[in-house]
Amino acid sequence: MAYHIFDDPTLLIVIAVILEMLLLVASVFVPQRRRKLMLLIGPGLVALVLALDYLVQTNREGLVSVTHELLDAVEREDAPAVMERVSPDARFRNRLDKAAVGAVINGLLQRPFVKAINVVRLNVEEPEDAGGSVRLRVRAILDSQGVYGEEFPVTTEWRLEFVRDGDGLYRLADAILLDPSNIDPFRPSSW
């Protein structure tokens, strides 16, 4: 039921609209004084559902938010902001730890890397209190003054694994490149 309240309140809003229509029909048989109060039940229920949806951030919404924060930091070429969202216990491909990944990211983002990043598809898989994973397809336009020496679009698919730290923030624990589209940002020989 929590999914229908916080992640997708559409069902509850439809129920509230149907309830309002039923109350509208029933209001014919109710005295004038109670009619106004009765007709406020539907809009009040819709307002309550929307307020709850706005106030409560679910695990799914938290994972989507941190994913967009990471992508925005890469697009701004802000290596410290990227590394701020990486878990201290992170283990990336080829068993790279946070320090090794930090060196790669700093190297990539020292000069222009991307002009634009567009999320083509983003699916949250297994959202849990302890973490979760996000599978996303990203289309980026690489900068001509960057490590690749020319401007061209590239589409990659990633699986990002997140863990929740003691402060309740999601931190990146692993990034797995699923569909490389001819480039691999974690392999310096492809630069």
Which uninterrupted H or E stretch holds 99? helix 98-109
Written as six digits, the tokens of 58 are: 């679910």
Q: 59-190 has which fold?
A: Nuclear Transport Factor 2; Chain: A, (3.10.450)
Measure the CA dihedral 117/121/125/128, to 10°.
Answer: 50
Task: Kindly give the confidence (pLDDT) of every residue in the chain, 191 residues in length, as a single tens digit, with 9 standing for 90 and above.
Answer: 455 456 677 787 788 888 888 888 887 787 777 777 777 887 888 888 778 778 877 788 889 899 999 999 988 888 899 898 888 888 777 677 888 888 888 887 887 888 888 888 998 887 777 788 999 999 888 888 876 777 888 888 889 999 888 888 899 888 888 876 655 555 444 43
What's phi and psi for 91, nearest 5 deg?
A: -135, 110
Tell me which residue of 122, 125, 155, 126 sits closest to 140, measured CA to CA.
155
**CA-CA distance, 64 to 61, in Å (whole number)?**
5
Grouping H, G, I as helix, E, B as strand and the rest as coil, residue 28 is: helix
Tell me which residue of 176, 158, 162 sits closest to 90, measured CA to CA.
162
Written as six digits, the tokens of 104 are: 């790669």
Written as six digits, the tokens of 127 are: 């959202």
